[in-house]
Structure 1
């Protein structure tokens, strides 16, 4: 089973996530559901509120059971790009560089793409979401974003 993870700025109701995933994957709404529901869905998701103080406070984790679907979006960036376009808001996806820095992301903002670093606050016990450092924003091309997100 494959999965996609992206981070969005605002919390979404499950009905909104189902509507979005239905459009993004071109599946019927009845085929999509929350991972914790007791039904058998084609596509499942976790819609997690990480905290209420971070810039990107919601994690969307989508589970894909078959390779036919993942062929549509072969990496996290392409999925995140579609989510960003659908929601008309900034979205973060993780970077898959060789050094695998867990605090570095691709920021998708309309049709612009940036490598950004997360603000690290070692003194905060209650911050689970992600806030990015705007001064570390490095613009990258669409092709670079695809390559950095394999």
Structure 2
């Protein structure tokens, strides 16, 4: 499970297309989390409150790591960079060691 926070709300069809491009797989291999169909990648695209600058939570579940592109999935930062580049906006990604208080801001291919 990979957690990202985005600034702007995106349609599910946009997220589906983005993930299929990033992972270099067919659109049919990317589905919403509650879909009954099997897939390599599932996602949740949830708008949050409008209080925070990052008001959309995107959670990605990967079921077929061995069948996906060569993106380094052991590190949230690499996938975060690909998503940030695709959507052309800043995002926040959960730090890889599982510490709930450590997050990375990805801004213009730099991180903070």
TM-score by length of structure 2 reads: 0.87
Deviation of residue 70 (structure 1)?
8.2
Q: Which protein, 1 or 2, shows the higher relative CO under an 8 Å CA cutoff with sep ≥ 6?
A: 2
Unmatched tracts of structure 1, length 5 or more: 115-150
- Number of equivalent positions: 110
Distance in 1 between residues matched to 2:70 and 2:27, nearest whole Å: 20
Matched, 1:15 2:39: no
Distance in 2 between residues matched to 1:41 and 1:104, nearest whole Å: 30
Q: What is the aligned partner in structure 2 of residue 78 from structure 1?
A: 78
Distance in 2 between residues matched to 1:83 and 1:113, nearest whole Å: 13
Unmatched tracts of structure 2, length 5 or more: none
Distance in 1 between residues matched to 2:11 and 2:64, nearest whole Å: 25
TM-score by length of structure 1 reads: 0.66
Matched, 1:46 2:52: no
Superposed CA RMSD = 1.9
